Amino acid sequence: MSKRITDIANDLNTAQKALKVLEAHSGLGKFSRIMDGHSATARILTKEVERHKSMMRLMEGPLASLERSGALSAMAKINRDMAPLKGAMAAFEAQFKLPDVTEQIRLLSSYQNSGVFRRLAEQQKQFASIQQTMQEMKTPWLEISNAVHSVNGLAQLQVIGQTVARFKSFDVNIAAGLRVELGDWRDPITWSDESLTDYEERAEHYEELGFNPDLTNFPAEAFEEAIDLAGLTTDRPQLIDLYGNPVSTDSDQYGEDEFARTNRAHDWLTRMEMNLRRFIHRAMTAQYGDDWPDRRLPNGLADKWKEKQEKARNNRREIQPLIAYADFTDYELIICKRDNWGDVFSTIFHRPENVRESFQRLYPVRVDTMHSRLITQDDELFLFVEIKRLMNAIGGN
């Protein structure tokens, strides 16, 4: 995409900072004061949202969160430059319809004859489930001008959901199958500030890695319904208090309505990391003994954890097991350390690059939850898929 559009996406993130006032719920007056300072950004953003469908796909989730809470309507009343956003959102959603039974049959017949369907054996096995999902959808999901891609996106969500539920998804062949739709994330990624804060640049990076945008090109309500039917939002990890709260945030709490997607991501990540810490601690203790952090961590990591533990002690906080002071990026280092891998983790995750890939897919959404940002449907999909994979691998719940 052009540099000009990248600049617009940066303006979008500037506007998003203004929207964070929503989490305080301090009334429409504060909305007005904040948004008055971003009129130019709002005008530019509105033009680009209307002109660039890819940007609208990215913004559908965050805008829907604001609309559900009433915040988008409130801002549109206060600042006229925000009003076209509601229209752009409505125009995007108007491109989708709910097909009737006759059209469903026609769509399924066309899809069975498509090259994508013939190429993917697992999809053929699950055709009956795909048909049932299409029948169970209650909200408009079929893009009128792009029906084949909508059917493909809906079908692939169901295949992904059933795959991570039924199989050991760190198996080499299963992991390779997931890459067809989610992209190949095995090589180490150095995240730039832009790719972590800029919606457009992040999405562009995802597609360069091979992510299929059909998976999330739905109105927000239809996307939520589709991932629910795929089973991706079931079996939330259990809460384990012993291993600390891994996902701190910029604020004490998010707004209950407009940040609902972010709240749920925060909850799932917190629970997953608690379970992962317990799993690592138990596995390493069983293999190496209670003092494993002193002997089996990468250089300097034990000292870093002990510094955090000592700081907690000095602040009269409850002292947790040492692994409770691990950072998100520490998990991969522990699991993939050569001797730990061979002695403890290789039979569970099969290949180190599978571990790296899973944590790299989760990293952007984890950063978003830490900084109280609205998250996109792309990142919500990665969240549920990768947490399901990890929990199934480590035996959570």
| Sequence spans of domains, the chain | 3-94, 97-181+214-228, 241-394
Q: Which of 5-19, 127-141, 321-335, 345-359 has the lowest average pLDDT?
A: 5-19
Q: How is residue 20 annotated by DSSP? A: G
Overall average pLDDT of the 20-32 stretch: 40
The pLDDT tens digits of the residues spanning 200-238 come to: 889 999 999 999 999 999 999 999 999 999 999 998 998
Average pLDDT over residues 29-50: 50
Q: State the helix-helix crossing angle for 71-78 and 53-69, rounded to 10 degrees.
A: 100
Tokens at residue 357, please?
């890939």
User: What's the confidence (pLDDT) of residue 108?
Assistant: 85
Are the CB atoms for 22 and 69 separated by under 8 Å?
yes
pLDDT tens column, 250-284: 544 445 555 788 889 999 999 999 999 999 999 99
Supply angle C-alpha 255, 62, 2, rounded to 5: 140
Q: What is the mean pLDDT of residues 87-114?
A: 86
Q: Give the helix/strand (H/E) hosting 97.
A: strand 96-97
Residue 319: C-alpha distances to residues 239, 312, 325 (Å): 18, 7, 10
Q: Which pLDDT value is given to residue 3? A: 43
At residue 53, does pLDDT exceed 70? no
pLDDT at 62: 82
pLDDT at position 47 is 53
Is the pLDDT reported for residue 17 higher than 70? no
- In this predicted structure, the answer to whether residue 7 has a pLDDT above a threshold of 60 is no
When pLDDT is cut at 50, 70 and 90, the band that residue 2 belongs to is: very low
The pair of three-digit structure tokens given for residue 315, joined into one six-digit string: 């602040």
State residue 395's pLDDT score: 86
Which residues lie closer than 8 Å to 234 by C-beta, 6 or more apart? none
The pLDDT of residue 314: 92
pLDDT of residue 54: 73
DSSP 135-195: HH--S--EETT-HHHHHHHHHHHHHHHHHHHHS-TTSHHHHHHHHHHH----S-----HHH
